[in-house]
Copies of this chain bind each other. A is one copy, B any other.
């Protein structure tokens, strides 16, 4: 995936019809998972479960925008909305799959990250599916990313020993010294990731792995998992761009160790977002969670941001700022 795969187009903004509204996008979320929509239609990995982008279609992403014209009774002018939209500065919506966000609970751009639908499975996955408990050892991959950093902090607040896997010394430093997790491993400097994980876990083995990467790190973690450990499989960052390293080659150990591997999706937690927002905004206001963003400016920088995501250029949430809110009279 290179810049040549993208094209910036200028189109006329239409006016909203009755039952519609016009949104000015303020913030664009840059998300790895969207990569899975960008396949040739014959690519096996994307068959049957993921809708594919057609050539010429705008790329999808979650955005936060402001309604600047409205002919829809439940979506008043001036309010902020989020949803899976496109890389666009303006768009017309009839409200389907759009949610109004509460700007009093948190800055609106937080709804693309720590308060967003993509981060919520870190919370519900660890607590409800992984059933993490005080004293357990939790490992998180892509730990300095937007979802990983939420997972680290949810596990830490639950009383777990938390070990992150990340890709730079700067991120290791941020995770350990600012987020306060117990240890972090820079996988790019680890000759033997298993051994690094073993010592980061104080030799005790891993109870729960929250994974957004798959591939070699998943393989190494499986080797260090305890019997009956749980793997929460939320993404396969290293596999999205056609890499063959996504598949763990030690499947037999899933059997020998009686591990549980459970796939997670944000789709399964959409109806529990209010519960998540309430808990997370409380933690934010109490200073119990920290949050970072890497911001690119302007829609023309969406592609560099996107490519930068796969190169690990972000700490925390990767965002593109598209515009400022308007003063609504």
Residues in A lying within 8 Å of B, measured CB to CB = 36, 44-45, 47-50, 214, 223, 227, 233-236, 239, 246-265, 268
Contacts and interface: CB of A to CB of B under 8 A. Distances in A.
Contacts of A239: 251-252
Copies of this chain, complex-wide, total 2
B48 A250 contact: no
Contacts of A233: 251, 254-255
B247 A251 contact: yes
B250 A248 contact: no
Contact of A263 (B36, B255, B264, B265): B255
A248 B247 CA distance: 8
Max count, chain B CB within 10 A of own CB: residue among A44, A48, A235, A258: A258
Given A247-B248, A250-B45, A235 B263 contact: no
19 contacts: A36-B252, A36-B256, A44-B250, A214-B252, A234-B255, A235-B255, A236-B251, A246-B251, A247-B247, A247-B249, A248-B251, A254-B263, A255-B265, A258-B263, A259-B261, A259-B262, A260-B262, A260-B263, A261-B261
Given A50-B256, A234-B255, A246-B252, 11 more contacts: A44-B250, A45-B252, A45-B253, A48-B223, A49-B256, A233-B254, A239-B252, A247-B248, A258-B264, A258-B265, A259-B261
Contacts of A261: 254, 259-262
A230 to B, nearest CB: 10
A252 B264 contact: no
A264 B255 contact: yes
Contacts of A47: 223
Max count, chain B CB within 10 A of own CB: residue among A223, A253, A256: A256
Contacts of A264: 255, 258
A112 B162 CA distance: 44
